[in-house]
């Protein structure tokens, strides 16, 4: 368990470093196209560092806002709070994660934060209604394991950093397509035509790299390990298995509140009913049937 934690902390640094390098490359290219690669590089490095810090300290708040989660009090949801507090005791956490809720009939949940003392668990109201106590405990235990393993830090950084790089590259591509097309006739300082194509090629190469970074954050191994840890926390694997079955058979996977950047955080892939290139490229979750099978075999 401690090796897992160390590994996750190490991978978190790798992600931040990789992000800075990629941003540096993008900035350098951007700056070079404008005439000064060094300026672009320095600016990019500065923005990269600032944004990395923002991502580390506020990443969870950004993710919570993106997902539409609202904080709830113990008075409003005593049943949920009791379960979270009980499992935090079982996991040996010094203080329980904060509790958030998404008002949606879909069955889903996720955890986020930078470490166990600054973490939160979010659950849909649909989940609260449709699962019984053992099933809900299984789901919460799964999320608690992600928190304990520092998976959440990895997953948060991947969501926030990779997400913004995708946005940035989209923006750059678009602005050059626009500016380049109009500018190549009036401006004669540099013939940007062929360089645009080069840029497009670079970005096309980088996109699957970003997807790979997200996959680094969420591997099947990590999910199976969280399932196994959840079973160890509750000493009752059938609880989570039964919850996963209900989640699998639920027709509504919560697509409205999810987007590509944070899809991998949820216990069940919100896009599993979508068939698109991006859905498969960013496909991060192991198959539910296999997870259920492993739990029932314990």
Measured from the Cβ of residue 280, the count of other Cβ atoms closer than 10 Å reads 11
Token readout for 269 is 């892939």
Rg (CA), the chain: 21
**88 vs 168, beta carbon nearer other proteins:** 88
Nearest distance in Å: CB 200, other proteins: 54
Beta carbon of residue 171, minimum distance to other proteins (angstroms, whole number): 48
Minimum CB distance to other proteins smaller for 185 or for 235: 235
Q: Which is catalytic among the residues 135, 137, 143, 223?
A: 143
Other beta carbons less than 10 A from residue 4's beta carbon: 17
Residue placing its CB nearer to other proteins in the complex, 75 or 188: 75
CB 64 within 8 A of CB 120: yes
Cβ–Cβ under 8 Å, residues 22 and 165: yes
**Which of residues 91 and 241 has its CB atom nearest to other proteins in the complex?**
91
What DSSP line would sit under 70-115, residue for residue? EE--TTT-HHHHHHHHHHHHHHT-SSPPEEEEE--SS--EEEEEEE
Task: Give φ, ψ of 115 to 5 degrees.
Answer: -165, 170
Task: By CB under 8 A, name the binding residues for other proteins.
Answer: 78-79, 82-83, 85-87, 89-92, 235
Give the span between the Cα atoms of 257 and 178, in whole angstroms: 31
Which C-beta is closer to other proteins: that of 40 or that of 237? 237
Shortest Å, Cβ 83 to other proteins: 8
- Distance in angstroms (rounded) separating the CA atoms of residues 276 and 83: 37
- The answer to whether residue 117 is catalytic is no
92 — alpha (psi -120 to 50), left (phi > 0) or beta? Answer: left
For the bound state, the minimum distance from the C-beta of residue 38 to other proteins, rounded and expressed in Å, comes to 48
Cβ-based nearer residue to other proteins, 90 or 283: 90
Report the number of secondary-structure helices (H) and strands (E) in the chain. 12, 4
Question: Closest distance between other proteins and the C-beta of residue 88, in Å?
Answer: 9
CA nearest 263: which of 239, 241, 244, 280?
280
The answer to whether 193 touches 184, Cβ cutoff 8 Å, is yes
Q: Catalogue the active-site residues.
A: 143
């Amino acid at each position: 368990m401690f090796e897992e934690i160390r590994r996750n902390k190490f991978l978190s640094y790798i992600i931040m470093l990789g992000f800075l390098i990629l941003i540096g490359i993008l900035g350098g290219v951007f700056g070079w196209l404008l005439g000064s690669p060094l300026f672009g590089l320095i600016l990019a490095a500065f923005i990269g560092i600032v944004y990395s810090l923002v991502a580390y300290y506020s990443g969870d708040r950004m993710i919570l806002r993106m997902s539409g989660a609202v904080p709830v009090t113990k008075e409003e949801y005593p049943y949920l709070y009791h379960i979270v507090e009980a499992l935090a005791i079982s996991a040996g956490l010094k203080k329980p994660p904060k509790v958030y809720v998404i008002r949606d009939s879909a069955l889903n949940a996720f955890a986020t934060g930078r470490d166990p003392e600054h973490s939160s668990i979010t659950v849909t109201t649909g989940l609260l209604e449709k699962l019984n106590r053992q099933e809900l405990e299984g789901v919460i235990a799964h999320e608690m394991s992600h928190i304990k393993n520092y998976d959440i830090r990895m997953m948060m950084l991947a969501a926030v950093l990779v997400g913004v790089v995708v946005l940035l590259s989209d923006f750059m591509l678009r602005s050059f397509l626009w500016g380049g097309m109009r500018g190549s006739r009036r401006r004669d300082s540099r013939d940007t035509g062929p360089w645009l194509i080069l840029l497009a090629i670079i970005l096309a190469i980088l996109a699957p790299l970003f997807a790979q970074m997200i996959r680094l954050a969420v591997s099947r191994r990590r999910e199976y390990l969280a399932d196994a840890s959840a079973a160890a926390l509750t000493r009752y694997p059938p609880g989570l298995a039964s919850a996963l079955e209900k989640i699998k058979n639920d027709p509504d996977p919560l697509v409205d509140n999810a987007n590509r950047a944070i899809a991998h955080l949820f216990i069940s892939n919100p896009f599993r009913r979508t068939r698109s290139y991006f859905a498969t490229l960013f496909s991060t979750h192991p198959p539910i049937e296999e997870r259920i099978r492993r739990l029932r075999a314990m």
